[in-house]
Amino acid sequence: MSGLQLRVFPTVEETMQACAKAISDAVREAPEAQIVLAGGQTPRGVYTLLAAAGGEPDAPPWRSAEFWFGDERCVGPDHPKSNFHLAQQSLLGPLGIAAGRVHRMLGELGAEEGARRYRERLAERLGDAPTFHAALVGMGAEGHTLSLFPGSPGLTATDLAVPAYVPTPPRERISLTPAALGHTERIFFLVTGEAKRDALRLALGAQAADPAVPTSFLRGRLETVVFCDRDAAPEDPTEVKP
């Protein structure tokens, strides 16, 4: 991945700690930061760390930030597979973030209507070319990021949010697109576990946007960083920061 920093840590816990620090620093730099949150189970550890440090004297001004979602499953907000539900339980609720500063995807409306509503919300709040200060995203073992799998039409869509239909249940989802993240200052990939090693190797080798490698479409304006543990790291990583 051209322009990407790889940071490899001995353990998952250390990986989570480094990623949490990067997000905290981004919010300190921009007190009214616009933050995109990742879905799935992997970021839970990062969210728990951020929430635990939220009451410390030097904590970032979390309550001035606003939170968005990179993708969502088409389930209700209290469903155990809801990305919003995970973030609300592990991060947003413990930090006391006001509901008006959390912009969830309305998965219960279905992929088409939910995506349309999110496009409207983004345009209303941030305009047609939104600027996010930081986005936390993941990477699947098959290379997907957000809810955009290899070959997904959403990778080249001009809409900010699209319906996505994926191979694994729940199959119906809503996803931001690379177009939505095109002005993001900092993009942080969080990748852990041996199962993702091959996908990360392909991502690191991509020299241009390649529909077979969804992560190759995401680049931060200031930096793009992969935080990974040693199990996920390809052999001979280009940069190791313990």
What is the predicted pLDDT for the residue at 4?
84
pLDDT digits (tens, 9 = 90+) for 21-41: 999 999 999 989 999 999 989
Three-point CA angle 89, 76, 113, nearest 5°: 125
> What is the CB neighbour count within 10 angstroms for residue 40?
18
Assess if residue 242 is contained within a domain: no
Is the predicted pLDDT of residue 147 greater than 80, yes or no?
yes
What is the predicted pLDDT for the residue at 236?
57
Q: Rounded to whole angstroms, how far apart are CA atoms 188 and 170?
A: 25
How many domains is the chain partitioned into structurally?
Answer: 1
Assess if residue 120 is contained within a domain: yes
Q: Across residues 164-175, what is the average pLDDT?
A: 94
Supply 115's token pair: 């995506």
pTM comes to 0.95
15 burial type by CB count under 10 A (0-12 exposed, 13-18 middle, 19+ buried): buried
Nearest to 179 by CA among 213, 128, 120: 128
What average pLDDT does the chain have?
94
Assess if residue 33 is contained within a domain: yes
Q: In terms of residue numbers, what domain contains 87?
A: 4-229
Q: What b-and-e string marks burial along 77-116, b requiring 16 or more CB atoms within 10 Å of the CB? A: eeeebbbbbbbbbbbbebbebeeebbbbbbbeeebeebbb
159 burial type by CB count under 10 A (0-12 exposed, 13-18 middle, 19+ buried): middle
Total residue count of the chain as it appears in this document: 242
Assess if residue 241 is contained within a domain: no
Identify the H or E element spanning 73.
strand 71-73
Assess if residue 129 is contained within a domain: yes
Assess if residue 51 is contained within a domain: yes
Q: Rounded to whole angstroms, how far apart are CA atoms 161 and 228?
A: 27
Supply 142's token pair: 């098959």
Cα separation values, 80 from 39, 73, 90, Å: 12, 10, 13
Assess if residue 234 is contained within a domain: no
CATH number for the domain harbouring residue 48: 3.40.50.1360
pLDDT digits (tens, 9 = 90+) for 209-229: 999 999 999 999 999 999 999
Peptide bond into 57 cis (omega under 30): no
Assess if residue 24 is contained within a domain: yes
Identify the H or E element spanning 228.
strand 223-229
